Amino acid sequence: MNRRTGRAQILALLLFVSAMSACGFHLQGAVTIPRDMERTYIETVDRHSLFYRELRLQLKAAGVQLVDSSADATAIFSILVDDTDQRVLSVSARNVPTEYEVYYSVRYSLTGEERRLLESQFVTLTRDYTYDETLVLGKALEEDQMRNAIVADLVRIVLRQIASL
């Protein structure tokens, strides 16, 4: 590589970096959790739901100590609704489903020791996919992967709301 090519690559890299910073692009870093959530208890009916498990993982990754009792907690994260399912969006002329919508809904609130930190919030995310009755196993896997992606997005939304407190 000659000197002129090396300089051109460095110049192109600098232009790219400055353009990305000028448009508001920032790498997503660690979430900043309020001090009130130092020791958090997650109150839920279903401790096996995808949302509950992903929320636990992300809170732990953010440095939150999760406790097993509300008496030991500095904050209580309440999952009031945790619901997922799918709906038929369209059918063929033979009345066979050809498109489905997967949805995941959560309602939650956050209470600190002395005050409510986050009023009850309701979030629903949906994704749709085409269905082919000859590819049942593959479509079932696609639905599971889609649901996992929706849950990851939901948890990111929740953590951004918490970080803004």
Delineate the domains of the chain, giving CATH numbers in brackets.
34-163 (3.30.160.150)
CB 128 within 8 A of CB 149: no
Q: What is the pLDDT of residue 147?
A: 97
Strand segments, DSSP code E, in 30-147 are: 39-43, 65-66, 75-91, 97-112, 116-130
Q: What is the pLDDT of residue 9?
A: 75
104-124 pLDDT, tens per residue?
999 999 999 989 999 999 999
Q: What is the model's pTM?
A: 0.79
Residue whose C-alpha is closest to residue 110's, from 72, 32, 165: 165
| Confidence band for 11, pLDDT divided at 50, 70 and 90 | low
Residue whose C-alpha is closest to residue 39's, from 67, 68, 62, 61: 67
